[in-house]
Amino acid sequence: MSTVGLAQPLVILHGGGIALSCALDGTVSADELHGLFASDTRVLSTYRITLGGVGLQLLSRTRDGHGTADWHYQNRVFRSAAGDVPAGSIFVLLRRRVEGALHDDLQITSYCDNTIRTNLIVQVDADFADIFEVKRQQLPPRVGVRRNETETGVLLEFRRGDFERALDVSIQPPEARPSIVGSRLVFDLELSTAVPWSCCLEAIPWIDHSPMAFSGNPHGSEAGQAPPVTVVGADAVAAPFHRGCADLHALMISDDDTGRLVAAGAPWFLTLFGRDSLVTALMTGMLGPDLACAALASVGALQATELDDWRDAEPGKLPHELRRGELAARGLTPHTPYYGTHDAQALYCLALWNAWRWTGDRQLLDQYLPTARSALEWCDRYGDLDGDGLQEYRTRSRDGYYNQGWKDAGDAIVAGDGSRGSLPLATVELQGYLYAARLAMAELFEESGEVDAATQQRDRARELAELVERHFFVAHENFYALALDGDKRPLASISSNPGHLLWCGLPTAARAEATAKRMLQPDLYSGWGLRTLSSEHPAYNPLSYQRGSVWPHDTVIAAAGLFRYGHRQQGATLLRAALDAAAAFEDDRLPELFCGFDRSGGSPVPYAEANSPQAWAAAAPVLAVQLLLGLVPDAPRGRCFLSPWLPEWLPQLAVDGVRVGDVTFDIEVSGTEDATRVETTAGDELQVVVEHGPAPLWGDPIVRE
């Protein structure tokens, strides 16, 4: 397919822990989902440029990395003292960089025959709204914002109680200093023909009396960072893979309480999300241990130790989301952190197991096993609300999340008639995560000499699988139900969730085959990936967040499940769909999600409020490469497994810099489907076992016919 470079509805730049969301022409408008966000506060809400009293005409926009973009404009017709200035006689270049602060370089060049005297106005304002208020478009007036002129520009400040935020706007060079009229910076210009006028505007957020800083790096934290793992050739795979690696690196931020972590996405989720960090770690083991170690440390550091209904916290539970805006500071939202995630506990166990398998690091296992043990105990004590062996959720907080699986939109889990499922809800993927977590923890317990505990977990995994097969499989649909409602009735909605069940290896071989066939039907498979909900469902809405949209990570996780059960042709179909979607978007970047319209429309349709980049989406091409290689690490035993399978559209795949344990090596696979050839540079330090069938992604396999 041809690359169309499809832009998102918002331009999102980020770096150094802050993010900017603006219109395609670079404008920031307070009444839109725009702003410069720092510490969950919109520290810049308005930024608009006019020349001669009228707006500029956009000519083009280019991007360079995650934090830099250039805009090119020309003037519209305006009146000066000497008469009308024709449109297209003045060129304006805006070079914008976001890396700890907003840094704008403006250059204006006139091509008029005579000197032009006019003014340039840059309107700059800040409402210091909480990020939740911006997202909900519920913006109470900020009457406490103060504006003070400084030697270099203007300082905007907001204080309510102990909560303080500020934005220091400075202009360089000094001779370019404007007049300041309210929220407007007014520059008096005298433009000679072909003589550029330029200035620099820098907006530095202050968080709790401390200024952030612009790094001065034109490419942000991507500069000089070669990805540790590279894909050579393989055009369909290489560009999305390398873009995903760069995005994951750029999403690494520092947090005073939890240390280094992978933020969930920009601009809305530039903070710790427990589930997101752990799923990202599970999908990116091939990139080395850094992402997994950051996830285990940052998420584990906030494990709850007591009951707190306001925050949906219980001993052993792991955080859903941490926020630092005004609503959190004043106790008006429970995100300090909020614990309304029912799956992070099992996912933590899996992430630890996965890191152990990739690294063989006994110190890492010893360090985080107590956290994983407590998380698993939470699943037994609190995660099973009625003692029936299944995981069910409900919120206890008045501001808690109704849904607490990965589809956590309030309207995401629906019955066949489109009505919302009643609480408590037992979604199908939650059962799969716990099944896989029990098998993973069995291996870790065994490694620690706890043989009886390992046996118990394997037995409980078998029991859970039998419960799921008995209660969730809907015979007339030949598919698994989305969930069981509060009365234990199956919500027989056709959704993407059973793909996660395959990923975890729970279904029998026969039911996995039935699920594979149903998954690729056109109501669920859009051609760009799996819809979160069937297009034939009464509640289907392709424009919604989770009732018919396509999430790249969801699609690739389902592909992993198909590969696991040997349905590699169907799995490769899903991988190709996700990779084609990446190629269709600007910079080969997969967004958090996109609309669920059929591929016959010609290109994916962006979702209006998607994070881009987003950690799960960035991880999707990485997992895709691991699946095509059939790479399963076993560093504790000094080996790894390869069972490569390349579809006809990918006759060769070479990956350099793969690390298993202490060994870094290259892999080259050629040939397609069942006639593949494998070469590695692993040498004698690592045993590479080449197989010709699918291998489990984690845990000891339980083959149940």
Domains of the chain by start residue, with CATH? 16-220 (2.70.98.40), 225-633 (1.50.10.10), 634-690 (no CATH)
In this predicted structure, the answer to whether residue 384 has a pLDDT above a threshold of 60 is yes
CA angle, residues 107, 109, 111, in degrees to nearest 5:
170
**Looking at the DSSP assignment, which residues form a beta bridge with residue 19?**
14, 37
User: Could you report the per-residue pLDDT of 431-482, keeping only the tens digit for each?
Assistant: 999 999 999 999 999 999 999 999 999 999 999 999 999 999 999 999 999 9
Q: What is the mean pLDDT of residues 263-267?
A: 97
Q: What residues have CB less than 8 Å from 475, skipping those under 6 apart?
A: none
> What integer best gives the mean pLDDT of the chain?
94
Alpha carbons 531 and 610: distance in angstroms, whole number: 16
Q: What is the mean pLDDT of residues 16-42?
A: 97
In this predicted structure, the answer to whether residue 1 has a pLDDT above a threshold of 90 is no
Q: What is the mean pLDDT of residues 346-350?
A: 98
**According to the model, what pLDDT value does residue 224 have?**
40
Residue with structure tokens 């360090």?
Answer: 367
Q: What is the mean pLDDT of residues 17-22?
A: 97
**According to the model, what pLDDT value does residue 696 have?**
56
For 528, which DSSP code?
Answer: S
Q: What tokens appear for 48 in the block? A: 């608009």
**According to the model, what pLDDT value does residue 221 have?**
45
pLDDT confidence band for 4 (50 / 70 / 90): low
In this predicted structure, the answer to whether residue 225 has a pLDDT above a threshold of 90 is no
Q: 267 preceded by cis ω (within 30°)?
A: yes
**According to the model, what pLDDT value does residue 701 have?**
40
**According to the model, what pLDDT value does residue 259 have?**
81
**According to the model, what pLDDT value does residue 216 have?**
67
In this predicted structure, the answer to whether residue 621 has a pLDDT above a threshold of 80 is yes
In this predicted structure, the answer to whether residue 218 has a pLDDT above a threshold of 80 is no
Distance between start and end Cα atoms, the chain: 40
252-255 and 163-172 as β-strands: parallel, antiparallel, unpaired?
Answer: unpaired
Q: What is the mean pLDDT of residues 281-303?
A: 96
Torsion sign (Cα): 338, 343, 347, 349? positive
Alpha carbons 561 and 564: distance in angstroms, whole number: 5
Of residues 143 and 165, the one with the higher pLDDT is 165
Q: What residues have CB less than 8 Å from 205, skipping those under 6 apart?
A: 18, 36, 38, 39, 41, 43, 101, 165, 166, 167, 211, 212
Q: 141 preceded by cis ω (within 30°)?
A: no
* Ramachandran sector of residue 389 (left: φ over 0; alpha: ψ -120 to 50; beta: rest): left
82 three-state secondary structure: coil
**Looking at the DSSP assignment, which residues form a beta bridge with residue 667?**
655, 680
Share of the chain above pLDDT 90, in %: 89
Contact (Cβ atoms closer than 8 angstroms) between residue 593 and residue 605: no
**According to the model, what pLDDT value does residue 695 have?**
56
* Cα–Cα distances in angstroms (integers) from residue 649 to residues 521, 579, 642, in the given order: 21, 12, 20
**According to the model, what pLDDT value does residue 234 have?**
83
In this predicted structure, the answer to whether residue 673 has a pLDDT above a threshold of 50 is yes
**According to the model, what pLDDT value does residue 699 have?**
42
**According to the model, what pLDDT value does residue 601 have?**
87
pLDDT confidence band for 227 (50 / 70 / 90): low
**According to the model, what pLDDT value does residue 477 have?**
95
In this predicted structure, the answer to whether residue 85 has a pLDDT above a threshold of 50 is yes
**According to the model, what pLDDT value does residue 692 have?**
74
Q: What is the mean pLDDT of residues 277-303?
A: 97
Q: What is the mean pLDDT of residues 115-132?
A: 96
Least confident of 41-50, 136-145, 404-413: 136-145
